[in-house]
């Protein structure tokens, strides 16, 4: 009877050997935690998510190591239901923010990473988690607005290099038929010098790359979904303050809303009193400091300021909205 080619594998073949290296699992866990911290530190997630995700990840790695030689059928069924729940949560959240799906996608990937961490019996599964951690670092870079994010990149590079070194060592031991043993001196003798070498080479390459001094964004990403200016009638509008009609200074001053700046109006009533909240409403990322002009008032009437440009305002016509910076 003719045998099948060596590259053909039928179901029911030999099971992949479980990974016994604690050092390998520890470094992969460290890389995953760095990736999760990079995303969670962006400010888009609540405290509950910031605590549950890394905590469940550590528990998942421990469970995966203790049950690495079991079939774990029940756990895999529960993980499948968990993945479906995460997907349902993603669709519910993305339907309420169709114009910016970055945060729902990041949340979905965080929970998928946690779910996947409960079933990491073999070395190949750990390599998948390492790649997932790299994607988390990339997602965190998209959400970040500070140069301090570079610390997460450096930490991930160190953990990833140590994990790959342990992965290569474990594979070599498996081929040689040697059991699990200590690997003293691997991190300090190999990983750390290579880490600094990579940083130096990376900085040299980065310094030689041509850098643009400004960014030119001619269209917002959300403009493909809706016409931003179709309901805009001109002027300064603030939906938190109903237009009083007529002379805004003829009646009593309006109360200041804590969630909206009362100066973003065609007038500034100096009689109004209140306090704005400390909630962050916008973050700006720029390569250099640029002055932005806000609302300008030029007519003082004794009670406040008004805009008196009137018909002298310059009108600019364009085929569509542009967003040049």
At residue 321, the pLDDT reads 53
Order of strands across the sheet with 304-306? 267-269, 304-306, 299-300
The pLDDT, as a whole number, for residue 10 is 47
**In this predicted model, what pLDDT tens digit does every residue of 30-39 receive, in sequence order?**
999 999 999 9
HSE, side-chain direction, 13 A CA sphere, residue 163? 25
Domain limits of the chain?
Answer: 22-208, 220-325
Low-confidence ranges of the chain (pLDDT < 50): 1, 10, 13, 218-225, 323-325
- For 313, phi and psi rounded to 5 degrees? -65, 140
Q: pTM above 0.85? A: no
Helix (H, G, I), strand (E, B) or coil at 57: helix
State the burial class of residue 18 (Cβ atoms within 10 Å of its Cβ: 0-12, 13-18, 19+).
middle
Tell me the pLDDT tens digit for each residue of 7-34: 555 455 456 688 888 999 999 999 999 9
């Amino acid at each position: 009877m003719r045998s099948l080619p060596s590259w053909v594998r039928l179901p029911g073949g030999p099971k992949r050997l479980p990974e016994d290296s604690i050092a390998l699992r520890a470094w992969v866990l460290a890389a995953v935690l760095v990736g999760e911290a990079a995303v969670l530190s962006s400010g888009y997630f609540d405290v509950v998510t910031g605590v549950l995700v890394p905590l469940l990840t550590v528990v998942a790695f421990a469970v995966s190591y203790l049950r690495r030689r079991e079939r774990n059928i029940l756990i895999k069924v529960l993980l499948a239901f968990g993945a479906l729940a995460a997907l349902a949560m993603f669709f519910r959240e993305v339907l309420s923010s169709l114009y910016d799906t970055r945060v729902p996608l990041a949340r979905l990937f965080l929970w998928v990473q946690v779910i996947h961490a409960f079933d990491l019996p073999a070395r190949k599964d750990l390599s998948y988690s390492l790649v997932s951690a790299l994607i988390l670092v990339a997602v965190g870079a998209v959400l970040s607005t500070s140069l301090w994010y570079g610390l997460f990149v450096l930490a991930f590079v160190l953990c990833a290099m140590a994990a790959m070194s342990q992965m290569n060592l474990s594979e070599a031991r498996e081929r040689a038929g040697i059991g699990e043993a200590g690997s003293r001196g691997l991190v300090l003798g190999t990983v750390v010098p290579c880490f600094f070498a990579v940083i130096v080479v990376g900085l040299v390459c980065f310094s030689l790359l041509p850098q643009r001094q400004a960014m030119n964004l001619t269209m917002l990403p959300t403009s493909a979904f809706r016409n931003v200016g179709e309901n805009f009638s001109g002027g300064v509008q603030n939906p938190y303050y109903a237009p009083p009609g007529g002379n805004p200074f003829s009646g009593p001053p309006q109360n200041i809303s804590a969630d909206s700046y009362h100066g973003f109006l065609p007038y500034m009533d100096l009689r109004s009193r209140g306090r704005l909240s400390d909630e962050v409403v916008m973050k700006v990322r720029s390569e250099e400091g640029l002055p932005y002009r806000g609302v300008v008032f030029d007519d003082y009437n004794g009670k406040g300021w008004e805009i008196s440009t009137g018909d002298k305002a310059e009108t600019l016509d364009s085929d569509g909205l542009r967003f040049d910076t």
